[in-house]
Amino acid sequence: FFAWFDAEEDLVRSLASMSTNERIKAIQKLPETMRKKRDIRNKVLKEITKKSRHRGAQRSCCTKGAAVSFRRFGNTLSEYFRLLQIWHKTLKIIGAEFGTSVLSYFVFLKWLINFNLFSFLINFGFVTIPQFLAAEPNNLSFTGLELFTGAGYFQQTVLYYGFYTNATISKIKNGPSYNMQLAYIFTVGVYFVTCFLILLFSIAKSFYKNFVNPQSFSGNASKLLCTWDFNITNEKAVKLKQKNLSTQMKEDLAEVNKEVLDFSVTERVFRIAVHLLAWVASLGAAVAACTGVYFLSINNLELFMKGHRNDLEGQAAMLVLPVIASLLNTLMPFFFSWLGHLERFQTPGQHIYVTITRTIILKMSVVGILCYYWLNVVATSESQCWETLVGQDIYRLVLVDFIFCLLGSFFGEFLRRIIGTTVFVSLGLPEFDIGRNVLDLIYAQTLTWIGILFSPLLPGIQMIAFSIVIFVKKVSLMRNCQPPRKVWRTAQMMTSFMFLLFCPSFLGVLSVIGVTVWRVKPSEGCGPFRGLSSMYAAVSEWIQMLESYTVSKWVVWIYHNLITNALFFFILSTIVLIVIYLYWQIIQGRKTMTKRLQEQLIN
């Protein structure tokens, strides 16, 4: 008896020294009854209370105790931050009311907000703050119109590339200095490498969660019997959890009971003809839109270079290009969605994925035409600072796209609800268009990535815009939209969104940034790279300077043998492809094993 009592005391003391999460997991794993686990938990809480009282009377200088206390404090803070998440409860309500398909849009938008916050902090910390130390006073007057055009007063601020100095910043005589050229290009370079790794990790994590994790292939019985959280005691939380679980069950059952329609030969030929006509119409519309944007941008630049750049008419003319581009990006997806309804896909998922594919072809084509215009027309124009001109164009595109996104919620959802409930009652409430809204986010994020080189603070502006969008979309969804008429499971949606953000969006941006840094000549009279043959020339000059220092020989060796060596990148790419192939084979093997296990359990 005494041995058993001593063992229980040792168990209580060891549990009391753990963090909250570790203690809960350890108690759950004990091979005891629920009543016995509750008794052990109560004893542990009493032990923690007793220790806290003794700790108030006498301080312990033990290193282990300090480490444990610090770990507890960190876990407590993380729990509080988790509870203080503004959108945590809202996302649960959206998932319960509208299903995981609509929820995936808001989760993706929330992820982009955090992503842009990270981007803003990096640029502001390493580029903007040092520039404040060397900034000259702004002599231009602020009229308020700059908020829409991005020109005027903002030209002489840290918002644009042209304001940054090419000098070495040093406020203390014979003290440390800050090379703005290297800081600017290294900040942008390290930022894009970090973005590349974050996106790859997010795609892999989402892919594992939705395709590889055996829990994602668990049956409905296990979901029904084993997923309830018995710690929930609040009545509203219980009802919300029940509704959320019910929606997930409906989605899984809809996936299982999906009907496979058997069409005749005539019907198949007719459907294929309709699909081909729809694709010809969508691609033709995209080509026509890109052609119009290109000729409009050329005409807009000629008017800007010939006319008065600072008068009201000249600044209003700057808004023509972003307004037309945003109109095309807003109206064309409605046309693509209408084409999808004519094609009559068997599942809502097929309709959404086809609409997303057509819309992203349009949006990325428009962005590609604009990039060609900026790097081949604006960069060779007579402008004193073409980088600032490009930054202003991107600022206007981001701002007008944000305004059109808000107007889309008003006209596309609010007025549609009024018409569907008063004029044409048979239409009913509208459904939330996932494809169109997701592509709007990817288009806006693509513009932000391109604009980072020309407007370092653009991620902060986009972060504010996304924060407003998530609130407006949430209110519009709750008040104007109805849940999808056809319930369907969308475990792959978040993975698809991440993949579309990575390719073609992020990879296309890397190509544009690479051409700008290596090939295009910077302006002679503005920016940190003025007077150089290219932005990358700043790195080459720095390496040549380091060759005279013995301490920095290792940096020079890495530059010549790794960074500028094509063979190294070829070997690295081959290794990455082999790893991806092996990982894919492991995934397929695990999925096959899981399905076989499920079949054995069913049999």
Q: What's the pLDDT tens digit per position in 352-373? A: 778 888 888 899 899 999 999 9
What is the rounded average pLDDT of the residues 518-534?
Answer: 89
Helices (H) and strands (E) in the chain, counts: 23, 2
Residue 565: HSE in the Cβ half-sphere, 13 Å Cα cutoff: 11
319 in Cβ contact with 400 (< 8 Å): yes
Q: Which ranges constitute the DSSP H helices of 537-565? A: 537-546, 553-558
Check whether 331 has a pLDDT greater than 70: yes
pTM (2 d.p.): 0.76
What is the rounded average pLDDT of the residues 473-478?
Answer: 88
What is the rounded average pLDDT of the residues 146-163?
Answer: 86
The label of the residue with tokens 């988790």 reads 82
Structural tokens at position 287:
């080509």
Q: Cis peptide leading into 504, omega within 30 of 0?
A: yes
pLDDT at 80: 44
Calpha distance 187→164 (Å, rounded): 14
Q: What is the DSSP string of 236-277?
A: HHHHHHHHHHHHHHHHHHHHHT-------HHHHHHHHHHHHH
Strand partners, 179: 168
Calpha distance 495→205 (Å, rounded): 9
* Mean pLDDT rounded to a whole number for the chain: 78
Query: Which amino acid belongs to residue 74?
Result: G
- Compute the radius of gyration of the chain from its Cα atoms: 29
330 in Cβ contact with 410 (< 8 Å): no
- Name the maximum alpha-carbon separation found in the chain: 98
The label of the residue with tokens 């991440």 reads 498
Q: Which residues contact 82 (CB under 8 A, 6 or more apart)?
A: 88
Calpha distance 213→219 (Å, rounded): 13
Q: What is the DSSP string of 382-396?
A: S-S-HHHHHHHHHHH
Check whether 298 has a pLDDT greater than 70: yes
Per-residue pLDDT reduced to its tens digit, 547-593:
888 788 888 888 888 777 778 878 878 887 887 777 667 666 666 66
Calpha distance 129→368 (Å, rounded): 32
Query: Which amino acid belongs to residue 353?
Result: Y
Per-residue pLDDT reduced to its tens digit, 135-149:
777 777 887 778 888
Check whether 506 has a pLDDT greater than 50: yes
Least confident of 248-252, 411-415, 458-462, 572-576: 248-252
Neighbours of 235 (CB within 10 A): 8
| pLDDT > 70: percent of the chain | 75
- Distances in Å between the alpha carbon of 574 and those of 340, 506, 567? 40, 21, 11
What is the rounded average pLDDT of the residues 55-64?
Answer: 48
**Closest C-alpha to 366, from 298, 299, 293, 301:** 293
**Closest C-alpha to 319, from 340, 305, 300, 332:** 300
Least confident of 147-156, 489-498, 570-579, 590-599: 590-599
| More confidently predicted of 169 and 349 | 169
pLDDT tier for residue 62 given thresholds of 50, 70 and 90:
very low
Check whether 212 has a pLDDT greater than 60: no
Strand partners, 169: 178
Q: What is the DSSP string of 330-366?
A: HHHHHHHHHHHHHHT-SSHHHHHHHHHHHHHHHHHHH
92 in Cβ contact with 240 (< 8 Å): yes
Least confident of 9-18, 226-235, 315-324: 226-235
**Closest C-alpha to 523, from 166, 137, 24:** 166
| More confidently predicted of 319 and 96 | 319
Q: Which residues contact 341 (CB under 8 A, 6 or more apart)?
A: 351
329 in Cβ contact with 401 (< 8 Å): yes
Structural tokens at position 189:
């370079």
Question: What helix, strand, coil percent values describe the chain, rounded to 5?
Answer: 75, 0, 25
Cα 302 from chain centre: 36
Per-residue pLDDT reduced to its tens digit, 439-471:
889 999 999 999 999 999 999 999 999 999 998
Strand partners, 178: 169
**Closest C-alpha to 516, from 421, 390, 365:** 390
Element (H, E) at 179: strand 178-179
Calpha distance 444→464 (Å, rounded): 12
Check whether 61 has a pLDDT greater than 50: no
Q: How many residues does the chain have?
A: 603
Q: Which residues contact 48 (CB under 8 A, 6 or more apart)?
A: 16
Determine the Cα angle at 105 with ends 436 and 199, to 5°.
Answer: 100
Calpha distance 465→399 (Å, rounded): 8
Structural tokens at position 584:
């894919």
Query: Which amino acid belongs to residue 344?
Result: R
Positive or negative: CA dihedral 354, 360, 363, 365: negative
What is the rounded average pLDDT of the residues 208-224?
Answer: 55
pLDDT at 1: 44
Helix (H, G, I), strand (E, B) or coil at 168: strand
Per-residue pLDDT reduced to its tens digit, 384-407:
889 988 999 999 999 999 999 888
| More confidently predicted of 339 and 86 | 339
Per-residue pLDDT reduced to its tens digit, 96-136:
777 777 888 888 888 899 889 988 999 999 999 888 887 77
Least confident of 59-68, 228-237, 291-300, 350-359: 59-68
- Distances in Å between the alpha carbon of 568 and those of 148, 511, 554, 561? 46, 20, 17, 8
